[in-house]
Amino acid sequence: MAPPNLQTSSGPINTADSNEEYARVNWDALGFGVIPTDFMYVMKCSKEGDFLHGNLTPYGNIELSPSAGVLNYGQGLFEGLKAYRKEDGGIQLFRVDQNALRMKMGAERLCMPSPSVDQFIHAVKQTVLANKRWVPPPGKGALYLRPMLLGTGAVLGLAPAPEYTFLIFAAPVGNYHKDRAALNLYVEDKLHRAIPGGTGGVKSITNYSPVFLAQSHAKAKGFSDVIFLDSVNGKYVEETSACNIFIVKDNVLSTPAIQGTILPGITRNSVIELVTSFGYQVEERLIPVEDLLEADEAFCTGTAMIVNPIGSITYQGKRVEYRRGQEALAQKLYEAVVGIQTGLVEDNKGWTLQLN
């Protein structure tokens, strides 16, 4: 299970109970869902204090006051990242420092204390090593990690919570979309995901349930997901329910500019840095929906899906299909990113962190 130097709230983890290299999971049938693992990481602090000492604890339910800030006022953030097992058996993380920095940015927006970058990385490493047997074999998936920062202190009046909990749990996952099928997206022009000056640019927990209505309507019509437009003009592409979007026209790759309503995705940033090696120019700009309709290719990026092609979009009754397949840029970028994440491609950018 976990190396003997890891600490839980009750002392060192005893690894003598299990010699299993892998948990008993059908790795070939792995999807994207909750599979309880062995341990989670918990660290607390007060509003005026700092996060100091965290511990591993057996995975399980947590206890909250009914008046916890996160339950009453949505004061909470989360991150998502993955640990991969390499061909030599080693385990590595991908750009974990960027998740830590993004959480700090979100915590400032929501008036929350946050772990330091070093504390965040240490906690992630501890969680992975404690759940090492749940990291899928090479090529079978990844161990998904969900760090959360929650206002868990009791509060009744509208104010920041008096106590905060940093928690990480993990689950083995496969592809977010089965077999990485090309997405069939609907452009939503009535409901909006984010507004200028709001929290669309941070991973606030309050950003996600508001997309459910538009998403459920789209899925009821047979679409994979929705693309949201800006809330001011109603004509510029922003992002889907939970991932960034790119379009390709000739040799130019374009993605909506980060202006406070779009999440600065870590996979998004990685794609922007990698794509010039394929001979493409990159533009971060306002993208009118007309440019989306006229693109040669389109794809989405995110931690869960990595890089996933868009097969078609439908806007006001007009359906447009895009280039996809082995020669598409989306496939080349997917292979490049996954290659670095899994150790099959040399990491020349210092993005990966080896755990053993």
Catalytic residues: 203
CA gap 152, 330 in Å, rounded: 41
Sign of CA dihedral 54, 58, 60, 61: negative
**Torsion angle of the four alpha carbons 248, 249, 253, 259, in this order, in degrees rounded to the nearest 10:** -90
DSSP 8-state assignment for residue 156: -
Element (H, E) at 301: strand 297-302
Cβ atoms within 10 A of the Cβ of 81, count? 22
User: Please, are residues 306 and 338 in contact by the beta-carbon 8 Å criterion?
Assistant: yes
DSSP 8-state assignment for residue 204: B
CA gap 210, 260 in Å, rounded: 17
> 3-class DSSP state for residue 269?
helix
> 3-class DSSP state for residue 36?
coil
For 245-284, b where at least 16 C-beta lie within 10 A, e where not — what string?
bbbbeeeebbbbeeeebbbebbbbebbbebbeeeebebee
